Chains A and B, each alone.
Chain A
Amino acid sequence: MNATTQTPRGRAQAESVLVLALLLALWWLASHQQWVSKVFLPTPEATLESLAQGLGSGGELSGFTLDTIVRMLLGWLLASAIGIALGALIGASNTARIWIAPTLEFLRPLPASAVMPLAISLFGLSSGMVLSVVAFGAMWPVLLATVHGLAAVHVRLREVATALQLSRTAFVFKIGLPNAMPDILSGMRLSMTVSLIVAVVGEMIASQSGLGQAILLAARSFRASELFAGIVLLGAIGFASNALLAVLERKVLKWQRP
């Protein structure tokens, strides 16, 4: 973190910033020289202006951003809660795992968005529909991680549980889930990414207010700078949520490291 660029670390950081600046300069040049049509590629300044306008007072983008974040977080929390609960139920019993696991393996590669038409015909084009698909799609990483984490409890720990005559519930809460924590957390990180993707798709299809709908409308009316502003905001949401979760993961798993 030294400000002097003499240290190797400082130099690497400076170079890293320089590469990003070069990419931005390339964008600037490409849009100003009209290498790519202005219809597709707005100038960086225009994108920045659209961002400032949309996020400033009277702009709509801040509201849309908030809508998308709320949808993503709600769906993610639901998915995590349901995923851990179902995963613990299935993972705690060997019998349940043997009978149900093959079905889960079949459902796992199913694209979350493929459930959307079914959800539309069940719930209509509502925000509840989008939320349910987000929760359903984002549930799988957490569920499978929980099942896997519970199954992978070390034999020694199982013996300890038997020796202490722990009930099955006590085993799950005292040994199983803490043991599965690293798996569950990395599952939750993956499911956050899925949540954002499905939330955006849902907003596009069901015309629910949010960034997904905003960028689709901007593209349809050829307002490229607003489209880019929306993409930038979505990237920022993805970046921020990922970074926050990484910090959270480190804090929660502190006890695991010596």
Chain B
Amino acid sequence: MSSRETARVGIAPNGKLAVAAGPSSVLRNAATIVFTRYATVLLLVLFVVVFSATSPQFLTAANWQNLLVVQAVVSCSAFAAILPLVVGEFDLSLGNMIGFLTMLGAFLSGQGYGVLTVIPVMLVCGVLVGLLNGFLTVYFQISSFIATLGTGILLSGVTMGLSGGQVLFDGIPQAILSVGQGHFLGLGVTVWLTAVIAVSLLYLLEQTPFGRKLYAVGGSERVAFLAGIRTGLLKIAAFALAGLLIGVGAIFALGQNGAANAGFGPELLLPAYAAAFLGVTTYRPGYYNIPGAVIAILLMAVGFNGLNLLGAPFWVQPIFNGTVLVVAVICARAESRQTK
């Protein structure tokens, strides 16, 4: 990454120790840094090695295509969770929002609208819901936890209304289906698009004044306000951007499934936040960040996939994910205590 990031990792709190101590402890320190900050990456590598050795199907192209394509929608949800988290807010509506936008797309398709209507409407509605969340939080000064819980519940009702109690699959535009189910250079189109989104967000958050201001607002809204930053506007923008990402995720979901089910969405909320929180332990420790979330998603996906191939029962996945999240965050805290 940028020179700033490498500098942070290199000098950061252990740096002083490293200078003062002998070469063997330098090595030990470096090892500690790698072990605690990139524990999730090491764990991911370990899983890949172990599963490759134990399961012949694991390291096949087909397995990885499936493994990755499933993560596209989860990733969009996790990215959408991160933006409000960076400014110190929560968006609990994103699970219901993705369900709503998917259903809206399917509903409009069923009414005969083409791709040039369906996609923009899905994205614009995502932004509008995000703006509403931001507006409720900033102007009425209610906790975003409550505001977005409210909008989420409201949206779940709209979703059920649109569905009419049916699974909608009529008339979904071919373009959306191609995005969801097509392949490019061996990987799903949604996987490539997710990678593009991840890189763009990484750039936006870490290389632009906008992103740095978001982190400043999250660090101390008061100080940022006193420095002349329009904190309210930035918070609303973070929610709106989250809505846009959920819109993208909804397009992916609609294309991948080829249908919209009123029950879809809410189950994405917890994995999205788990990835965001787990990501805090990696890459830029202590800050919500995109690369960390990507690693977290891959870790959980590979763990599930490998255990599955080894014949573990279906209920092992949540147990695995929950354990990894808690243990990783405890490790990261232990490290930050040491370096204080």
| A and B found bound together | no
Give B residues with C-beta under 8 Å from A. none
Residues of A at the B interface (CB closer than 8 Å) are none
